[in-house]
Chains A and B, each alone.
Chain A
Amino acid sequence: MIQLFHVSKYYDRRPALSDVTLEIEKGEFVLLMGPSGAGKSTLLKLLIGAERPEEGQILVQGRSLSKLRASEIPVLRRKVGIVLQDFRLLPKKTVFENVSLPLLVQGAATTEIRRKVAEALRAVGLDHKKDLFPPGLSTGEQQRICIARAIVNGPIMLLADEPTGNLDPDLTSEIIELFKAINARGTTIIVATHDPNVLAQVNRRVITLAHGKVVSREQGTS
């Protein structure tokens, strides 16, 4: 589903990613491990078209991202759920409004929005908090709202950049379990992290990056 062929990306002539080739199958759960500055976030940015590679080719569902026109990037992003370390929720909008945003930008009907938001909030166990505002929620709840927003329009893949960076070990476990449940429904999941707790709980394929290069590929047992 995702293929990278000899992809390189530079910032101020310094390589953020260097000659990366990898393939991720549909429905896989992949951990991108590595220290800060290894190139994990850059790789995720390339997958949503926020950055373009200087060299190489990226294919998502057989479509080359380098050939995408600027107007096609929003269409790509509507198929991808994104979870970030700092949640990026809108503080002045209710939980319902935050989660409904991806549907709203696609022009979904009101009844469809209500149904899908309710489903997504149920999936993360927060359907009873739909009328609250994010600042009134705990960090774990905010991250779960962020996940609900990422899955509300049934994305083909979910990208998470350090999703447990602000969470304690208990909350980390909760979030990982949520990811596993979402993955079980067929959504491809790529989690970029340097948190060893995540590695310990996710016994799946691990791609390790260092200085922008793939240094190891380990296959999980489950």
Chain B
Amino acid sequence: MRRLLYLLREAVANVLTNRTTTLVAVATTAFTFACVGVFLLLYVNLKTMAASLEQDIQVMVYLQDDLTEQARNEIEQQLKSDRAIASLTFVSKERALADFQVQFPSESRLLQGLGQNPLPASFVVTLAAESRSSDAMRRWANRTQLIPGVSQVQYNQEWVEALAGIVRYIEVAAIIVGVILSAASVTIIANTIRLALYSRREEIEILGLIGASTTFIRVPYLLEGAALGLCGSALSLVILKSGFELFRHQIHSATRFLGVDALLTFFPFEMCLVLMLVGLFLGCAGSFLSLLRFGEGRA
């Protein structure tokens, strides 16, 4: 117990001895983590938005005009037995015309001029969650297109694929930026710990001479690195949350983005915890690197 207290006291003493360096290290680490965080936040929001759009996407299965009721019922049964479909609604030719007239009253005269209803009957299909990715949707559409009596399968393919593409790019960018900036954070923390090690090298030598184990000597510096990483990541979350709220407020004020602010989400609590743990781990890694180099230098 006394040994543990000693190690904790030493870690605090290390921080207090190099106050300015520690503050600079925490601030720089927070800034680098915040940069990674911006990408992560973008990724999380786009992913949420993509999922929400995918949920809203409805697939139109248009039927041939000359279809008998029996043939239509067979198609309906076939679609109902398809596990990729969550729900489907039949829209008759008459209903399609009525909907069109409600949605586009000014253009409804054009249809009246044709004499007969040109709009086809259709099934409005909502796909099951696991079939909403752009690839799954494309595969399903190609398969359904081959059902006899189906004239066309239509969905907002371009939208879904474009969004999926953007999410993929953001994901890759977040990984690259994350790796680079995490390495930068590790280096910053490693340098801070190295300064602490050099300022206390005499003490470290004494501890070695009186029989302190390597672990006993290293633990205060590992704790210091972990604390730096943890504080840096916590501060970065504060910066990100403030920036996020400011952005949301701006979006809310701008009327042309009406409703978009409600779609924006910050990291969930669990993810905040994970990010802080990542900071703690990177801090430990930085300390460990410095301790290794310090050990090699003294060997």
Q: Could you tell me which A residues sit within 8 Å of B by CB distance?
A: 48, 50, 70-71, 74-78, 80, 82, 88, 90, 92, 101-102, 104-107, 109-110, 113, 149
Contact = CB atoms under 8 A, between A and B. Distances in A.
Main secondary structure of the interface of B (DSSP, over half): helix
Interface of B: 1-3, 6, 13, 202-203, 205-214, 216
A101 B204 CA distance: 12
Nearest to B203: A90
A88 B209 contact: yes
B206 A104 contact: no
B191 to A, nearest CB: 23
B212 A74 contact: yes
A77 B211 contact: yes
Contacts of B216: 105
A105 B210 contact: yes
B295 to A, nearest CB: 10
A107 to B, nearest CB: 5
Given A90-B203, A101-B206, A105-B216, A75 B2 contact: no
Contacts of B213: 71, 74, 105
Nearest to B209: A82
A175 to B, nearest CB: 19
Of residues A48, A74, A102, A106, which shows the largest number of chain B Cβ atoms within 10 Å of its Cβ? Answer: A74
Main secondary structure of the interface of A (DSSP, over half): helix
A151 to B, nearest CB: 12
Contacts of A75: 211
Given A90-B203, A90-B206, A104 B211 contact: no
A78 B210 CA distance: 6
B6 A102 contact: no
Contacts of A80: 211
Nearest to A92: B13
Contacts of A109: 2
A113 B2 CA distance: 10
Given A90-B203, A105-B216, A77 B2 contact: no
Nearest to A113: B2
B2 A110 contact: yes
Nearest to B200: A90
